């Protein structure tokens, strides 16, 4: 489709003007511009995820210093496509949901969408895998994403796969929030859910606004102001107004107040932080301090660290919508074109197919919202979104200690703790080349990774682990070896009565060629720990 750039500029300006006029009832775009923006969203997201790939979670609790080069070259997208297909989970998770709406219709339910997602056979992690495990074991949405059942509920998983929502609801924040409600609680709740709702709002707003400030303001409107997510991202917005030139100073302000993971056992009391609100704050930093410049914005989002591929992917996608595919500089687009017609892992959808699919869906959602499309022009009604209900995770559940267990469960393991909850970070392993005597004599930290088959693709074995609390059987957990079936943590329980508790883990069906590795124990309390007075 040939794009007239002058038309894009004029219509984008009109869209920006309408964004600032409260009385505007609708925004009008040509179908060419709508398609160009949708393509820009998918393309920008994919470019961003590749740009940040070399630094993903290599800089935790620090920025990526200016002297550290971040490479970009002619064939870099194809290089990562071949080297690490799982890098593109941001895209193929999006595509699973987009394709589900395409096949099931706009009224697809959360349970239908959850089943499509849970039974896809590609690799998942964190809240996504925890939600998938829950659904495969009979816990349906929204409880599959609820923090009591999903320790990763505040993680950024929905945030990195909500892009498609804004692309199918252009300029339609209320419709985007409706779709977000049906998708986001499959794998997240609380701040984790708000992260995806925020991203959906960013993309939707980018169709009708032309500055990052306007887009960010519009995307935050549905988020409850009492939520910790809103307060964290608003911290960026307020700091930027006072100091619009120093993104690193803003980063330090956010780090000082919000760099504390509560749920994900990989991050509690450690520098790793996959929490949605912190990483969304980094998205906001990239958008505001990048000033709308595509390359500068994704670089800043990347240099904020932590999930430094997902965050620039969001920034790149939002700016891809705002500017349009045709306005993304060629140095970024050329490497992408090598893979536009290739199908993503676990799907039969390529970027080229995604462009067309999202365009069809956008027209359907616009018409359902009361807009019109006549084959040439699209009229998008403008309505303010209502506030989402307030939901916050880990209420009265504060992490107070982390202990190194560093052991293997062979038949039974017991421990005591003082508090109202716990989680064990560990996993089931298949022993390959060590003897049981060696396991008992050597600390696990000295055993090479080649010894274990961690969550293998086709291993049918499922360990059954009884979790006894205070002398009563709390539940029996299934620990499958198969990668897509796996349970991320062997055991956890929240919201017990505050006090001393005894936990016993009993392996019902042990086999000598498997072991359950227990790394760390995190303990929670209803009482917040005392803060340092340094």
Q: What is the pLDDT of residues 292-323, one digit of tens each?
A: 999 999 999 999 999 999 999 999 999 999 99
Q: How confident is the model at residue 529 (pLDDT cuts 50, 70, 90)?
A: confident
The per-residue pLDDT for 290 is 98
Residue 129 within a domain: yes
Are residue 374 and residue 405 in the same domain, yes or no? no
Q: How confident is the model at residue 19 (pLDDT cuts 50, 70, 90)?
A: low
Are residue 208 and residue 245 in the same domain, yes or no? yes
| Integer Cα distance of 165 and 173 in angstroms | 10
Q: What are phi and psi of 72, to 5 degrees?
A: -150, 125
Q: Per DSSP, which regions of 343-411 are E strands?
A: 372-373, 377-381, 398-409
Domain that holds residue 155: 5-381
Q: How large a percentage of the chain has pLDDT more than 90? A: 85
User: Domain ends where: 381, 413, 446?
Assistant: 381
Are residue 357 and residue 444 in the same domain, yes or no? no
Residue 277, SS3 per DSSP: helix
The per-residue pLDDT for 347 is 87
Residue 113 within a domain: yes
Are residue 337 and residue 460 in the same domain, yes or no? no
What's the DSSP call for residue 2?
Answer: -
Quick one: which of 269, 293, 278, 297 has its CA closest to 401?
269
In the numeric block, the tokens 């980094």 are attached to 282
The per-residue pLDDT for 457 is 63
User: Domain ends where: 381, 409, 441?
Assistant: 381
| Integer Cα distance of 217 and 240 in angstroms | 13
Q: How confident is the model at residue 449 (pLDDT cuts 50, 70, 90)?
A: very low
CATH number at residue 306: 1.10.4080.10
Q: pLDDT averaged over the chain?
A: 91
Residue 469, SS3 per DSSP: strand
Q: How confident is the model at residue 18 (pLDDT cuts 50, 70, 90)?
A: very low
The per-residue pLDDT for 530 is 80
38 touches 328 (CB < 8 A) = no
Are residue 377 and residue 402 in the same domain, yes or no? no
318 touches 207 (CB < 8 A) = no
Are residue 190 and residue 77 in the same domain, yes or no? yes
| Integer Cα distance of 104 and 99 in angstroms | 8
> Residues near 34 by Cβ (< 8 Å), separated by ≥ 6?
170, 207, 359, 362, 378
| Integer Cα distance of 436 and 440 in angstroms | 6
219 touches 281 (CB < 8 A) = no
Residue 390 within a domain: no
Q: Structure tokens of 412?
A: 């039974």
| Integer Cα distance of 59 and 80 in angstroms | 20
Q: What is the pLDDT of residues 65-77, one digit of tens each?
A: 999 999 999 999 9
**Residue 96 pLDDT greater than 50, yes or no:** yes
Residue 531 within a domain: no
User: Domain ends where: 381, 412, 444?
Assistant: 381
Cβ atoms within 10 Å, residue 19: 23
Q: Structure tokens of 27?
A: 């925004």
329 conformational bin, left if phi > 0, alpha if psi -120 to 50, beta if neither: beta
Are residue 354 and residue 407 in the same domain, yes or no? no
Name the domain count of the chain.
2
Are residue 32 and residue 98 in the same domain, yes or no? yes
Q: What is the pLDDT of residues 488-507, one digit of tens each?
A: 999 999 999 999 999 999 99
Are residue 416 and residue 320 in the same domain, yes or no? no
Are residue 374 and residue 409 in the same domain, yes or no? no
Residue 43 within a domain: yes
**Residue 218 pLDDT greater than 70, yes or no:** yes
Cα 443 to Cα 11, 411, 440: the distances in Å are 65, 18, 8
Are residue 374 and residue 474 in the same domain, yes or no? no
CATH number at residue 446: 2.60.120
The per-residue pLDDT for 319 is 98
The per-residue pLDDT for 456 is 57
**Residue 401 pLDDT greater than 90, yes or no:** yes
Are residue 336 and residue 377 in the same domain, yes or no? yes
Residue 393 within a domain: no
Q: What is the pLDDT of residues 152-191, one digit of tens each?
A: 999 999 999 999 999 999 999 999 999 999 999 999 999 9
Peptide bond preceding 152 in cis form (omega within 30 of 0): no
CB-count exposure of residue 154 (10 Å: 0-12, 13-18, 19+) = buried
Q: SS3 sequence, 209-239?
A: CCCHHHHHHHHHCCCCCCCHHHHHHHHHHHH
Residue 386 within a domain: no
499 conformational bin, left if phi > 0, alpha if psi -120 to 50, beta if neither: left
Quick one: which of 426, 462, 429 has its CA closest to 448?
429
**Residue 278 pLDDT greater than 60, yes or no:** yes
Residue 387 within a domain: no
Q: How confident is the model at residue 532 (pLDDT cuts 50, 70, 90)?
A: confident
């Amino acid at each position: 489709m040939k794009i007239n750039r002058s038309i894009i500029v004029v219509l984008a300006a009109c869209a920006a003007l309408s964004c600032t006029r409260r009385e505007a009832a609708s925004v009008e775009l040509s179908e060419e511009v709508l398609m160009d923006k949708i393509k820009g969203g998918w393309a920008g997201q994919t470019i961003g995820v590749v740009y940040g790939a070399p630094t993903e979670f290599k800089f935790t609790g620090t920025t990526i210093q200016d002297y550290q080069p971040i490479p970009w070259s002619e064939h870099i997208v194809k290089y990562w496509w071949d080297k690490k297909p799982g890098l593109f989970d941001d895209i193929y998770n999006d595509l699973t949901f987009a394709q589900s709406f395409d096949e099931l219709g706009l009224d697809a339910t959360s349970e239908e969408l959850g089943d499509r997602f849970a039974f896809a056979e590609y690799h998942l992690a964190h809240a996504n895998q925890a939600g998938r495990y829950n659904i495969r074991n009979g816990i349906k949405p929204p409880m599959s994403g609820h923090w009591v059942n999903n320790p990763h509920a505040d993680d950024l998983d929905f945030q990195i796969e909500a892009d498609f929502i804004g692309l199918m609801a252009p300029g339609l924040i209320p419709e985007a929030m409706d779709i977000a409600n049906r998708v986001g609680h499959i794998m997240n709740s609380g701040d984790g859910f708000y992260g995806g709702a925020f991203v959906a709002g960013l993309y939707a707003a980018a169709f009708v606004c032309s500055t990052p400030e306007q887009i960010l303001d519009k995307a935050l409107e549905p988020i409850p102001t009492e939520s910790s997510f809103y307060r964290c991202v608003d911290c960026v917005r307020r700091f930027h107004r006072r100091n619009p030139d120093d993104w690193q100073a803003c980063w330090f302000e956010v780090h000082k107040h919000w760099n504390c993971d509560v749920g994900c056992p990989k991050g509690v009391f450690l520098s790793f932080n996959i929490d949605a609100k912190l990483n969304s704050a980094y998205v906001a930093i990239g958008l505001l301090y990048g000033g709308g410049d595509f390359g500068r914005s994704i670089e800043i989002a990347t240099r904020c660290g932590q999930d430094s591929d997902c965050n620039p992917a969001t920034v790149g996608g939002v700016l891809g919508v705002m500017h349009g595919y045709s306005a993304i500089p060629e140095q970024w687009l050329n490497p992408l074109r090598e893979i536009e017609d290739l199908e993503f892992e676990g799907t039969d959808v390529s970027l080229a197919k995604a462009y067309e699919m999202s365009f069809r869906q956008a027209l359907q959602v616009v018409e359902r919202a009361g807009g019109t499309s006549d084959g040439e022009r699209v009229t998008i009604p403008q309505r303010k979104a209502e506030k989402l209900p307030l939901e916050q995770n880990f209420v009265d559940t504060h992490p107070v200690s982390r202990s190194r267990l560093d052991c293997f469960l062979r038949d039974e393991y017991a421990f005591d703790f003082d508090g109202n909850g716990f989680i064990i970070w560990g996993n089931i392993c298949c022993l390959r080349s060590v003897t049981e005597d060696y396991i008992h004599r050597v600390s696990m930290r000295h055993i090479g990774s080649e010894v274990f088959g961690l969550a293998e693709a086709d291993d049918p074995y499922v360990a059954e682990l009884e979790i006894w609390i205070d002398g009563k059987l709390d539940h029996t957990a299934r620990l499958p070896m198969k990668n897509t079936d796996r349970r991320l943590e062997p055991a956890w329980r929240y919201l017990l009565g505050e006090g001393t508790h005894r936990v016993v883990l009993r392996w019902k069906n042990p086999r000598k060629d498997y072991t359950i590795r227990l790394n760390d124990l995190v303990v929670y309390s209803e009482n917040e720990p005392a803060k340092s007075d340094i």
